[in-house]
Amino acid sequence: MDRLEQEELEPVERVIAFLLAQAEQRARIESHGHEEVGLVPEMPVDRAAGDAGLFGHLFEGGVRDPFAAKHLARAFDDPVTSLGCLCFGLASHVGANRFTYMSVCKSRAVEVLLSCALLAVLAGCKPAEAPMMPPPVVNLQVVNPAPVPQVVEITAQVEGNREVEVRARVTGILLAQSYQEGAAVKAGDLLFKIDPAPYEVALALAKAQLMQEKARFEQAAAEAGRQAALLKADAASAKEAADSKSFAAAAEAARDVAAAKVRAAELDLSYCEVRAPIAGFTGRLNRSEGSLVSPGADSLLTTVVQREQVWVRFGLSEQQFARLFQGVASAASQAAVEVLLPDGSVYPAAGKVNFVAAQVEARLGTVQMRAEFANPQAVLLPGQYVRVRVRGRTLPAAFVIPAASLMQSAQGRFVWLADEKNLAVMAPVVVDEIAGPSAVILGGLKAGDRLVTDNLQKVRPGAPVVPRPAAVAPSAK
């Protein structure tokens, strides 16, 4: 209970203490004629702002306490200096009755001294100026125009100039494989053998039917000849002669049908031996021995490809085709094509373009081209992916510069040049292509320009640069 009663009495005690402090403050004001006021928002002055001097505007404002304002008609004089003074205090934000008192002398000399001190403090608060950066040391390259061939490197695929699929043409069981996969074969070599028994029977049946139709034809032909002789002797009617002649013609047609069936049976029987259609190299075996094969989608047995001559097929984008050949197909057919092998070396034989598509392939957006290469050592394998280098027209005067010296801005690409006074100059350029470490420039440079090639991030327009004392080499190749 005592603790609860004490907590209830604490707010009352704080209110009584605050009222006593206010009464003491008012009594002090009545006895001294000035107020200890808060410095927080406003400060009282002892006379008009016009008499306050240089810092009068700092002390403008009213008295915080209405009672103090009533008794502060004027300030007091300092008993030591006999000068007018302003007395003020620092008030607590929580209503406590504790004040710190100080007096400000309002003489002109003191104000001047305070002004100088304030200016010195403000001058000391200024940020220190950043030291000047030395001009960057750069490498310069003298650029000159030179003829530059238009070259494109792209991915291509090797194809055999003759690739043949070996398929089954009759239905039957695959009895034997007569070749080694990947081996060279000659045209007509036996590759597979399909069970011939059903086709031998079919051939024998066709031959028997042919013999039967031949006998019928011979009988009908003889009867037609006899009826014709009787008709001449007026021993037979014309109808009988005509009927016998028709029967002979029908028998002849039936004989020819039987002969064709024999030929078809012979072909089916010959298809039981699958032979190489061309000379070349065989591919992988697709159907093993004992499998049932038949014509159709599953008829592929193997492939035979020729490698002495190969084709390399590739596609150029519309932009590349226009840049190399200006969009002219006849110029593309005369292009020089080189193959880059996987080890980076150039294939020794040059290729000749033998096909240029007459339209852009809609699916890929490319113009398909093909070049033929001699391949006596079988270095290029069908299906292999390689890189090809296609050479087009030659630019008569272009600049080749390091690609790293190109910069990008909102207006486009540019380079840094150094003028005769070694001041940096921004030069917009027209880029034809960027190929590896080099860039081909069509416009924006002139012969003899000095190109900045390093420390590009430190260069500023109109700022000086320091060339390194090294020999500069022209960029022309």
Give, in order, the Cα–Cα distances in Å from 84 to each of 33, 61, 106: 14, 18, 6
Contact assessment for residue 435 and residue 402, using Cβ atoms and an 8 Å cutoff: no
405 close to 416: Cβ distance less than 8 angstroms: yes
- Number of C-beta neighbours around residue 167 at 10 A: 17
- Residue 159 pLDDT exceeds 50: yes
Beta bridge partners of 138: 467
Q: What's the pLDDT band for 132 if we cut at 50, 70, 90?
A: confident
Say how far apart CA 323 and CA 336 lie, in whole Å: 15
pLDDT for 389 equals 93
- Spatial distance between the Cα atoms of 326 and 342, rounded to a whole number of angstroms: 30
As a whole number, mean pLDDT of residues 104-127 equals: 53
State the pTM of this model.
Answer: 0.55
Please identify which residue in the block is written with the tokens 């104000």. 111
Across the range 161-189, mean pLDDT stands at 92
Q: Is there a contact between 174 and 290 (Cβ–Cβ < 8 Å)?
A: yes
pLDDT for residue 207: 93
Taking residue 2's Cβ as centre, other Cβ atoms within 10 Å add up to 6
Please give the Cα distance from 154 to 407 (Å, whole number).
Answer: 26
The β-bridge partners of 282 are: 304
